[in-house]
Structure 1
Amino acid sequence: MRDVQNETDNRNMAIDRVGIRDISWPISVPDRTNGTQETVAQVSLSVSLPQDYRGTHMSRFVEVLGAQEKRVTFHNMEGLLVTLKERLKARDAHAVFDFPYFITKAAPVSGAKGRLRCDVRFDAALRGDDFDLVTTVTSPIQTLCPCSKEISQFGAHNQRAHAVMEVRLAGFVWLEEFVQMADDCASAPIYSLLKREDEKYVTERAYENPRFVEDSVRELALAMQADERVVWYRVSVTSHESIHNHDAFAVIERDKRTGSIPSRENLPCSPRRTEEG
């Protein structure tokens, strides 16, 4: 049978990435409370293609994925890419796993338990022999505007926000730890189940702990800076404003291997705003 993919291509144009995208695949990830958690990832796999090859073998991507253990962790992503390179005779390989992860959170007063979703991405690349993995966790939080509180006789606008934590790691970190970092940087955490006494507590906690996105992202960066397992990070906080026709966001990126950020003592406070929001 004719092997069209292996035919020589004469256009002298290498391809950076070629592969499959958005295949749903069951995986199992580490769960701090229960050991493992079953979820479904949207997976993209790709390799580089030399200029003299017409095409790659798409079926082999699915074969490699199916041959892997279901458990996807910080530790075995490199093995997946090594296998991809070998099976497809490629120089470089790349994999992305996007999946929901659920954490059980107890309401602060009643203790009522509910499942809170965060979104996780493993973005792994093997370029030659150099392996790189960026883990991204997106977690919902709440912010309350300090300016709104300052200028109002009562009340202040508050809203749901999202903290996004992109990291390169030198050691294992539980996904639950990232969610806790996000909660700690916020005016108040988000819960999926709240009784009346819990709503009172969360509302009052946010009011007593107002934070701009600038405040939250700085707190999140300081948490990353203090964690020796994190060697590079990009953190952002986006506030889905409740009284404005826009979102507000702030981003900090640092490579701890080559640079630094100011210590907490030297970090300037967020400027007080003199106009609305």
Structure 2
Amino acid sequence: MEAENKTTLPDVQSSEDERNIAINRVGVRGIRLPVIVAGREAPQHTVADITMTVSLPADKKGTHMSRFIALMEELSEPLDADLMRRLFAEMLERLHAEDGTIEIRFPFFVRKIAPVSKLESIMNYQCALIASSVKGEVTVRQEALAPVTSLCPCSKEISRYGAHNQRSHLTSSLILSAPMSFEEQVAIAENSASCQLWSRLKRSDEKYVTEYAYDHPKFVEDLVRDMAKALNADDRVVAYRVEAENFESIHNHSAYAWIERDKRL
């Protein structure tokens, strides 16, 4: 009797809805799971915050939320843009959906060597892989946020000594035709800054960082233009959006700029 009841339980989510209102996106948010991410030299284990949604037709009452979780828990391969496409297609098939979104955000770690002392330390970067579709057109974006140093050219020019600088966040969101590692993506941002950052520095390194930034002053406009220039020259990059936010040290607000380009247009 108990077994019979289990097999005859109603599937409420699959029932019809009489209000006839389609839902753009419905799913799960705030999933936190261990994942493996592809790296330049070796895969990296990290922890991801995940959002998964699908479109829901007007005549359907609900979607099957547990299928999102099951899909992610079955994942065993290192995440990259190609795997995101396969994962996305599988999600749409399991949920019987036409469109949707998978957003996987995670810290990515890079071992770095200080410029003078050669002291090794680990830097963390906020990265993401995002797959989405609208009317059947699938897009996969690879994102990376790199913290850097920027030094103000105007402050340097008008001051008898010194110049104000600040920590900045440089974000790139890329559509790629061929693989680019997160290490490469982060390096593009760091090479566009007044100076990159390290987790551990000796005094000799601090001297180097301070003087290097002073010799490479950049406005927020310079930061996004230099990132855009590097991405324009990279044939793997189909489209991009780059952002720079300077957390100003002499103002109670940030300076901000962004550039967006689709090379296919």
Which category describes the TM-score, using the shorter chain as reference length? over 0.9
* Residue number in structure 2 paired with 1:82: 89
Tell whether 2:22 aligns with 1:14: yes
Q: How large is the RMSD of aligned CA atoms in angstroms?
A: 1.1
User: Alignment partner of 1:75: what SS?
Assistant: helix
The CA deviation at 1:61 is 1.0
Cα pair 1:22 1:43 within 8 Å, conserved: yes
**C-alpha spacing 1:70/1:23, structure 2 compared with 1 (3 Å):** farther
Tell whether 2:131 aligns with 1:124: yes
Cα pair 2:35 2:45 within 8 Å, conserved: yes
* CA distance in 2 between partners of 1:8 and 1:76 (Å): 34
Tell whether 2:188 aligns with 1:177: no
Structure 2 unaligned segments of length 5 or more: list them: 1-8
* CA distance in 2 between partners of 1:6 and 1:182 (Å): 47
Identity %: 45
The CA deviation at 1:46 is 1.0
Cα pair 1:81 1:95 within 8 Å, conserved: yes
Aligned to 1:3, which of 11, 28, 42?
A: 11
User: Alignment partner of 1:97: what SS?
Assistant: strand
Deviation per CA, 1:228-273: give whole Å up to 9, x if none: 0001111011111111111111111111111xxxxxxxxxxxxxxx
Cα pair 1:24 1:43 within 8 Å, conserved: yes
The CA deviation at 1:93 is 2.5
Q: How many residues align?
A: 257
**Would you identify which runs of 4 or more consecutive aligned residues in structure 1 move more than 6 Å?**
none
What amino acid is aligned across from residue 107 of structure 2 in structure 1? P
* Residue number in structure 1 paired with 2:115: 108
Between stretches 128-137 and 228-237, larger displacement belongs to: 128-137
* CA distance in 1 between partners of 2:40 and 2:71 (Å): 28
Cα pair 1:82 1:126 within 8 Å, conserved: no
Aligned to 1:145, which of 144, 152, 158?
A: 152
The CA deviation at 1:70 is 4.2
Structure 1 unaligned segments of length 5 or more: list them: 259-277
Tell whether 2:161 aligns with 1:154: yes
Cα pair 2:40 2:183 within 8 Å, conserved: yes
What amino acid is aligned across from residue 134 of structure 1 in structure 2? R
* CA distance in 2 between partners of 1:127 and 1:237 (Å): 28
Aligned to 2:212, which of 205, 212, 235?
A: 205
What amino acid is aligned across from residue 25 of structure 2 in structure 1? R
* Residue number in structure 1 paired with 2:170: 163
* Residue number in structure 1 paired with 2:5: none
Cα pair 1:162 1:238 within 8 Å, conserved: yes
Aligned to 2:253, which of 229, 232, 246?
A: 246
Cα pair 1:78 1:126 within 8 Å, conserved: no
